[in-house]
Chain A
């Protein structure tokens, strides 16, 4: 296990996340894609702190902090999604054009 492998893994996860974000038509799917991208970033944190930092606690702490922030974000996003569903009875972005005008 080298730094390079970890970075490739993170890159792949991030690419998958972007791909999913752009291709998914369902809001939940897009949310999961965002989660994957965030985890790719966390992997980077951990990897750099493990391989190259003098003190590895800072990176670990920072990724834990990021996870906590993500949890809050997800809670809000899910709340919005629930409201959206109540209004439109659908979570297909093709039909959700509320951002227009």
Chain B
């Protein structure tokens, strides 16, 4: 136990080593070796994490800092550190990230086999793993921000991995710019909070009490605020960072577009790990956010709006990866409003279970796409006979996300429902139930259209399920089945530090029955629409002859268009045009004036350079005389 604590930094260093080796040495020259090296190193990190996490079970679940060193010293007493925080929350995330990363690495060995630049792919994937691990073990806000940006850049690199595709390039830019926009607020929040508190440390920030700050004041440019208000503003700004990274409404548009990246990337970064970073941030600073009622309200509302909004859109999409992307948005909404409703344990539990089944769903989608070479539901259908293993696993995942017992999603969703109702948010609870039913509907819509019915494309020769791609899916299916039963562990260990949650103790034994019944009804409805003998699949997949409402939803409520209009009219048309004018007219004339002056001065001086010897001698003598009689030549 003590041994592994001493070597815990290897968990971070192994993926970094994988990145360094692949980026500098192996790369695209030896793609196969690059893949194997990355996989083994990440697997090593997973094994170390497993020893670390399971070794610390049953021991004191207090947070401990395994190691820490000052990274940037701002003053004698104020330094930004890098360290490794080990508490139940970070242990859970470490476990999830390393396990999923290893499985996705194994999967990618097969999935990316024919890509000529798969060496680059594995290098970036290892970089991402390193960054994500650094993020979850962060001991302070500064380290979190550092790795937060690092996951952002690796996400950008991987979304735009196929840089020959213009759509991938624009998606990667969109994701990067949108999250950068949110991150700038995050940075402001960090500056503000650390300035008021005098520390970056989570432990310090989480143990504040607002009463200590309400009597001193701080000047924030426009007006003077009390430091307590300053902290509230800082908390809001910090949350905006998570808002963008977790793609909450209305900053959600980058996530569905990020599906342009390779499917393993969507699986690990854009569903299981990176996009829950916002949830992780709020959970990590939960006692701090609890001080600010209004921000919790905002989190609650944003969460439920995102959950419902994304679920509605997911019902109309025909691109399998986009369905899953909207489903991810919806599930992140769940985690967020659970936090807003003070359901810390429920939210973190949902992060845990969601990571496995959503990652698995993406891997299934990847396997299906590998088979039919298309993302669209219209080219799939009837795949259950060709891919029996994938079929069973997909069924487990869909049942899990729909909240059917005994799979993991049932337990975590039930916890969330209970938390919302116990803490007095009946409206949110009603919407959450509705979203849950919608989730079951669209997941089974996708499931039936992919695996049931008749094949809508004819294959020359169907590819057999390969071991390397099926094995990770099966392992994740096992995790999906068992992870729900860890409810008690979560209830015991994953409670927010330093605060006590209000506990009403009210029990609502009907919740699981109601939720399950609704989900089952939605599944049956999906079955009637898409798999029964009378189902009109051609009509269901037709996007043109639809009602107006359906079209609006299918166009994602035109959010992409609104963003483009804003960017084009306001940013490009307004600000950029003004800046261009300013650059041309003001800066340009300043530069021209400067060159003009110096050119003329140069001309004047150059006239003296005659090359005529008596002129030089004459000026020499005249100068000396001038110096002697009008200056101070010491003679």
14 intermolecular pairs with C-beta atoms under 8 Å apart = A18-B621, A21-B614, A21-B617, A22-B614, A22-B618, A30-B614, A93-B613, A96-B613, A97-B612, A99-B612, A99-B613, A100-B610, A100-B612, A101-B611
B residues in contact with A55, CB < 8 Å: none
Residues A99 and B621 in contact, CB atoms below 8 Å apart: no
A residues in contact with B621, CB < 8 Å: 18, 22
Q: Report the separation of the CA atoms of residues A22 and B614 in the bound assembly, to the nearest whole angstrom.
A: 5
Question: How far is the CB of A98 from the nearest CB of chain B, in Å?
Answer: 7
Sorted nearest first, the 5 A-B pairs with minimum C-beta distance are A100-B611, A97-B611, A99-B611, A93-B613, A22-B614
B609 contacts the other chain (CB 8 A): yes
Residues A93 and B609 in contact, CB atoms below 8 Å apart: no
Q: Report the separation of the CA atoms of residues A100 and B607 in the bound assembly, to the nearest whole angstrom.
A: 11
Report which A residues bind B (CB closer than 8 A). Answer: 18, 21-23, 30, 93-94, 96-101
Size class of the B contact interface (CB-based, 8 Å):
10 to 19
CB within 8 A of B609: which of A30, A96, A100? A100
B residues in contact with A18, CB < 8 Å: 621
Interface 1/0 per residue, B611-635 and A, CB below 8 Å? 1111011100100000000000000
Q: Chain B contact residues: over half helix, strand or loop, or mixed?
A: helix
A residues in contact with B610, CB < 8 Å: 97, 100
A residues in contact with B618, CB < 8 Å: 22
Within 563-618 of B, Cβ neighbours of A (below 8 Å) are at 609-614, 616-618
Chain B's closest residue to A23 (CB) is B614
Q: Report the separation of the CA atoms of residues A22 and B622 in the bound assembly, to the nearest whole angstrom.
A: 11
A residues in contact with B616, CB < 8 Å: 99
Chain A's closest residue to B618 (CB) is A22
B residues in contact with A97, CB < 8 Å: 610-612
Q: Report the separation of the CA atoms of residues A23 and B621 in the bound assembly, to the nearest whole angstrom.
A: 13
Q: Report the separation of the CA atoms of residues A96 and B610 in the bound assembly, to the nearest whole angstrom.
A: 11
Q: Report the separation of the CA atoms of residues A93 and B611 in the bound assembly, to the nearest whole angstrom.
A: 10
A residues in contact with B617, CB < 8 Å: 21-22
Q: Report the separation of the CA atoms of residues A41 and B176 in the bound assembly, to the nearest whole angstrom.
A: 81
Chain B's closest residue to A34 (CB) is B617
Question: How far is the CB of B443 from the nearest CB of chain A, in Å?
Answer: 82
Q: Report the separation of the CA atoms of residues A29 and B284 in the bound assembly, to the nearest whole angstrom.
A: 94
Q: Report the separation of the CA atoms of residues A94 and B613 in the bound assembly, to the nearest whole angstrom.
A: 8
Chain B's closest residue to A33 (CB) is B617
Question: How far is the CB of B617 from the nearest CB of chain A, in Å?
Answer: 6
User: 19 new A-B pairs (CB below 8 Å) besides A21-B614, A98-B611?
Assistant: A18-B621, A21-B617, A22-B614, A22-B618, A22-B621, A23-B614, A30-B614, A93-B613, A94-B612, A96-B613, A97-B610, A97-B611, A99-B612, A99-B613, A100-B609, A100-B610, A100-B611, A100-B612, A101-B609
Q: Report the separation of the CA atoms of residues A30 and B614 in the bound assembly, to the nearest whole angstrom.
A: 9
Question: How far is the CB of B611 from the nearest CB of chain A, in Å?
Answer: 2
B residues in contact with A101, CB < 8 Å: 609, 611
B residues in contact with A99, CB < 8 Å: 611-613, 616
Q: Report the separation of the CA atoms of residues A97 and B610 in the bound assembly, to the nearest whole angstrom.
A: 8
Q: Report the separation of the CA atoms of residues A23 and B618 in the bound assembly, to the nearest whole angstrom.
A: 10
Chain A's closest residue to B616 (CB) is A99
Q: Report the separation of the CA atoms of residues A7 and B497 in the bound assembly, to the nearest whole angstrom.
A: 102
Interface 1/0 per residue, B93-134 and A, CB below 8 Å? 000000000000000000000000000000000000000000
Q: Report the separation of the CA atoms of residues A23 and B613 in the bound assembly, to the nearest whole angstrom.
A: 11
Q: Report the separation of the CA atoms of residues A21 and B613 in the bound assembly, to the nearest whole angstrom.
A: 10
Q: Report the separation of the CA atoms of residues A30 and B612 in the bound assembly, to the nearest whole angstrom.
A: 13
Question: How far is the CB of A13 from the nearest CB of chain B, in Å?
Answer: 16
Q: Report the separation of the CA atoms of residues A18 and B620 in the bound assembly, to the nearest whole angstrom.
A: 11
Chain A's closest residue to B609 (CB) is A100
